[in-house]
Amino acid sequence: MLYYHIEIFRMSLLSHPMFAHHHHTDFLPVEKLLASKDRAGAGVSLVIPAYNEAETLPALVGTIRRELVERIPLLDELVVMDCMSTDDTASRAGDEGAAVYSLNHVLRDYPVGPGKGAALWKSLFVTTGDILVCVDADITDFDTRFVYGLLGPLLTEETISFVKSHYARPLVLDNNAFEQHGGRVTEILVRPMLSAFYPEASRIYQPLSGEYAFRRNLIEEIPFSHGYGIEIQLLLSVLRKVEPSAVCQVDMDERRHRNRPLGELTTMAFGILQTLMRNLQEDGLVLLNHPLRETLFAAGGDGWRDREVREVELPPARTVRADQEPATEAAL
């Protein structure tokens, strides 16, 4: 049997961390941001990790290219990191104007299994921007607020290093929308865990939101979790590096995406739990007497089955960059 021995060696009781806050409309018109970007002399890269998202990704890429590359050149790079899709995600994204890289073709001598975190980590080796924006590929109501809203604080406030989005999240099932029922893993697993052990991080409205932006000089100094744990790993690692005042949250109003079935959420939750437990142990808040389990026991259509779920920690990109030059293959 696996036991967890919990000892309160340290409690980060920042009761009221001063996270900055904005609404995406604070950065309109977008032309003003372009002027701020020019004054800062900052290059900006947008990264979209994708796996089998041919249904939503092309429209998303096309909108970004037309509005924020061609009409208002706020972005210098538009990159899709393809996590070995089996549909035509990669080719369709390329047709819409993105530079597309396969996870397997970047940093070939540092292989890692497929996952969102792995895709974002490897994107650090093919992008050049001083600021990076990350956007999920499955947004069904996408518009450019998910980009300029995240860039705004970084381009207008030198003290901001990390920006997280938040929004209302309806749960859409069979074309019926249930308001405020989205974010199930956040509310059932992540928020209670953060409230218990990382009260400062629990003040982030949506710790698992997939839209965020950061400065390269910060993010290359922290480890990544290779899979579903990437958002919680980034958040906790950033809060170890910077003061709460360097973190900003931006209200994006509402976000709709392809809601995932319960089985996928179970796998996601297990990966996030592994990441949380690893961080708790590293911070001296939990002592694990046995290694974390990597086998998920879940019910399937034909009964119980075992599934391996393993969150691998990837080292800070700066340490890898210092050791070797990455081998990359041109866009697909």
The CATH number that applies at residue 127 is: 3.90.550.10
**Domain that residue 229 falls in:** 15-323
- Would you state the pLDDT for residue 324? 63
DSSP 200: T
pLDDT at 289: 84
Q: Domain count for the chain, please give it.
A: 1
Residue 8: inside a domain: no
- Lowest mean pLDDT across 12-16, 93-97, 148-152, 221-225: 12-16
Is the separation of the CB atoms in 214 and 161 below 8 Å? yes
Q: What is the mean pLDDT of the chain?
A: 87
Q: Which tens digit of pLDDT belongs to each residue from 108-132?
A: 888 788 899 999 999 999 999 999 9
pLDDT > 70 fraction of the chain, expressed in percent and rounded: 83
Q: Of 269, 268, 275, nearest to 313 (Cα)?
A: 275
- Looking at residue 293, its pLDDT comes to 81
- In this predicted structure, the answer to whether residue 1 has a pLDDT above a threshold of 50 is no
Band of residue 176 on the pLDDT scale cut at 50, 70, 90: low
Over 90: is that where the pLDDT of 31 sits? Answer: yes
Q: Is the pLDDT of residue 178 over 50?
A: no
Q: Is residue 216 part of a domain?
A: yes
pLDDT of residue 146 exceeding 60, the answer is yes
Summarised one tens digit per residue, pLDDT across range 183-231 is 678 888 999 999 999 999 999 999 999 999 999 999 999 999 999 999 9
| 262 exposure class (CB count in 10 Å sphere: 0-12, 13-18, 19+) | exposed
Q: Report the range out of 191-195, 263-267, 285-289 with the highest average pLDDT.
A: 191-195
The mean per-residue pLDDT over the stretch 17-34 comes to 93
pTM metric for this prediction = 0.87
- Output b/e per residue, 75-108; b: 16+ Cβ within 10 A: bbbbbbbbbebeeebbebbbebebbbbbbebbbe
Kindly state whether residue 2 falls inside one of the protein's structural domains. no
Per-residue pLDDT, 303? 64
Identify whether 257 is part of a domain: yes
Is 292 domain-assigned? yes
Residue 212 lies in a domain: yes
Backbone dihedral angles phi then psi of residue 320, each to the nearest 5 degrees: -70, -40
Cα–Cα dist 332/329, whole Å: 8
Cβ neighbours of residue 254 under 8 Å, at least 6 residues apart?
141, 167, 168, 169, 170
**For strand 77-82 and strand 44-50, is the pairing parallel, antiparallel, or unpaired?**
parallel
Task: Please report whether residue 231 resides in a domain.
Answer: yes
Q: Which amino acid makes up residue 113?
A: G
Predicted confidence at residue 3, as pLDDT, reads: 41
Residue 6: inside a domain: no
Question: What is the pLDDT at residue 332?
Answer: 55
